């Protein structure tokens, strides 16, 4: 499976006895089957006929689904253009047509998009008018407090040509996003440096260095290095190979990682991509981002490359404390993290509550700690209720 994802594109010859049914299930379940079909379609005799037929079917299913998604994305971009709103495309929607030679190769469960924070409410109303519905039980998107309550992304769905298209709408009304207790993503910077993806359709993408940083934050902080297995590192590998020859690419990656306080998580993601897929990372970049040696040893103890391949030993439960320690650049930041969540500073409050008025910001600075604690309590209660509901379903089953 790993050999089929590594470049250059020479199809590996299967050696020995393989558990083909298990391998086929893993390829399809992990969204990697299209890569295998593309590698072997010119040399089909190297694979058992049943395996080739399965990955071929999955390739064309993914090609069809992505065609519908990308066409819908163009239409959304054009509709927003009429309202004077730019559409930023993140992750799969941008990568499928840029760093991958074939859009069918990038599995997409949803489309990740964002608009400028000041236009979030207007864009959401326009999407509702197009028939998009919220996953969550929210009666209206006109209330800014409801947008804040839902965090920094919303999920919306619509059926297009019999296919459910899901949008993950990022950063509602935010200019800064606290992606962990410490690391802060500057959304304004993302917009200032955005590059055209398809200007005729009003589609934009993050500048390549920020795209790579966003992928590392998504992999290491949101999915703790291992939730989606190799798919995380396939994106990182292809972005690096496609863009790293551009002038200033690596210096900007390092500068942005340090400014975001995400040097260590970026190092771990790049290092794991190198170990898994042979991603060509300059030694100087890794040396600049490198965390202390004890952190590297501890991550190697908690999570090995074969754990990612086999989707096991995720950094949850008791391991989550180690994960938070390993992905925080400075120990002092870790200790002060809870304080930053409760008292995040003027810029974050202005973005979060969508106001620049001094007296309002002072009032929100007093109110925000109670709001943050209440929100955390509600989330824990919701998680506990979801867990009990799942257990009840399992018992009844």
- Do residues 317 and 211 both lie within one domain? yes
Q: 353: closest CA among 364, 366, 338, 341?
A: 364
- Do residues 276 and 305 both lie within one domain? yes
Q: Say if 227 falls within a structural domain.
A: yes
- Do residues 354 and 303 both lie within one domain? no
- Domain-ending residue, one of 301, 329, 357: 329
Q: Would you state the pLDDT for residue 298?
A: 95
Contact between 45 and 82 (Cβ < 8 Å): no
Domain extent, residue 347, equals 337-372
- Do residues 285 and 360 both lie within one domain? no
Q: Say if 220 falls within a structural domain.
A: yes
What is the rounded CA–CA span in Å between residue 390 and residue 395?
9
pLDDT-based confidence at 318, cuts 50/70/90?
Answer: confident
Residue 93 predicted with pLDDT over 70: yes
Q: Would you state the pLDDT for residue 397?
A: 55
Q: Mention every residue, 6+ apart, whose C-beta is less than 8 A from residue 75.
A: none
What's the CA dihedral at 204, 207, 212, 215 to 10 degrees?
-30
What is the rounded CA–CA span in Å between residue 4 and residue 40?
9
pLDDT-based confidence at 337, cuts 50/70/90?
Answer: confident
Residue 145 predicted with pLDDT over 70: no
**Residue carrying the six token digits 């040396």:** 287
- Do residues 350 and 313 both lie within one domain? no
- Do residues 235 and 349 both lie within one domain? no
Q: Say if 361 falls within a structural domain.
A: yes
Q: Say if 100 falls within a structural domain.
A: no
Q: Say if 188 falls within a structural domain.
A: no
What is the rounded CA–CA span in Å between residue 239 and residue 156?
27
Q: What is the pLDDT of residues 237-284, one digit of tens each?
A: 999 999 999 999 999 999 999 999 999 999 999 999 999 999 999 999
- Do residues 272 and 320 both lie within one domain? yes
Q: Say if 117 falls within a structural domain.
A: no
Whole-prediction pTM: 0.88
Q: Say if 223 falls within a structural domain.
A: yes
The number of distinct structural domains making up the chain is: 2
- Do residues 280 and 355 both lie within one domain? no
How high does pLDDT run on average in the chain?
88
- Do residues 315 and 214 both lie within one domain? yes
- Do residues 283 and 312 both lie within one domain? yes
Q: Say if 190 falls within a structural domain.
A: no
- Domain-ending residue, one of 269, 303, 329: 329
Q: Is 242 exposed, middle or buried (CB count within 10 Å of its CB: 0-12, 13-18, 19+)?
A: middle
What is the rounded CA–CA span in Å between residue 170 and residue 117?
10
Q: Mention every residue, 6+ apart, whose C-beta is less than 8 A from residue 20.
A: 48, 50, 51
- Do residues 341 and 302 both lie within one domain? no
- Do residues 222 and 325 both lie within one domain? yes
Q: What is the pLDDT of residues 29-45, one digit of tens each?
A: 999 999 999 999 988 88
Please state the three-class secondary structure of 63-118 as a single string.
HHHHHHHHHHHHHHHHHHHHCCCCEEEECHHHHCCCCCCCHHHCCCCCEEEECCHH
């Amino acid at each position: 499976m790993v050999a089929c994802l590594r470049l250059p594109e020479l199809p590996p010859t299967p050696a020995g006895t393989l558990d083909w049914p298990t391998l086929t299930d893993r390829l399809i379940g992990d969204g990697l089957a299209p890569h295998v079909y593309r590698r072997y379609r010119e040399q089909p005799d190297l694979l058992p006929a049943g395996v080739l037929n399965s990955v071929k079917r999955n390739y064309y299913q993914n090609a069809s689904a992505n065609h519908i998604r990308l066409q819908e994305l163009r239409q959304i971009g054009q509709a927003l253009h009429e309202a004077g709103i730019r559409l930023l495309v993140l992750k799969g929607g941008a990568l499928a047509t840029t760093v991958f030679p074939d859009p069918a190769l990038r599995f997409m469960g949803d489309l990740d998009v964002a608009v400028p924070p000041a236009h979030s409410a207007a864009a959401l109303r326009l999407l509702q008018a197009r028939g998009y519905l919220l996953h969550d039980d929210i009666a209206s998107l006109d209330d800014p407090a409801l947008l804040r309550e839902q965090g920094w992304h919303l999920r919306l769905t619509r059926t297009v040509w019999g296919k459910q298209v899901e949008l993950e709408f990022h950063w509602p009304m935010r200019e800064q996003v606290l992606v962990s207790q410490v690391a802060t993503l500057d959304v304004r910077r993302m917009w200032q440096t955005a590059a055209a993806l398809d200007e005729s359709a009003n589609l934009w993408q993050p500048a390549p260095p920020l795209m790579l940083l966003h992928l590392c934050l998504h992999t290491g902080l949101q999915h703790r290095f291992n939730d989606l297995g190799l798919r995380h590192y396939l994106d990182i590998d292809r972005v690096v190979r496609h863009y790293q020859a551009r002038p200033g690419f690596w210096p900007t990656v390092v500068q942005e990682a340090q400014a975001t306080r995400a040097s260590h998580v970026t190092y771990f993601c790049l290092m794991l991509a190198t170990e898994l897929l042979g991603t060509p990372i300059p030694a100087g970049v890794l040396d600049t981002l490198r965390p202390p040696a004890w952190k590297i040893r501890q991550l190697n103890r908690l999570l090995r490359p074969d754990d990612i391949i086999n989707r096991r030993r995720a950094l949850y439960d008791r391991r989550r404390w180690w994960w938070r320690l390993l992905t925080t650049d400075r120990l002092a930041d870790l200790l002060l993290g809870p304080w930053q969540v409760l008292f995040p500073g003027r810029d974050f409050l202005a973005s979060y509550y969508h106001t620049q008025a001094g007296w309002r910001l002072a009032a929100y600075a007093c109110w925000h700690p109670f709001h943050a604690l209440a929100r955390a309590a509600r989330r824990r209660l919701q998680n506990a209720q979801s867990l009990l509901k799942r257990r009840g379903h399992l018992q009844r089953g």
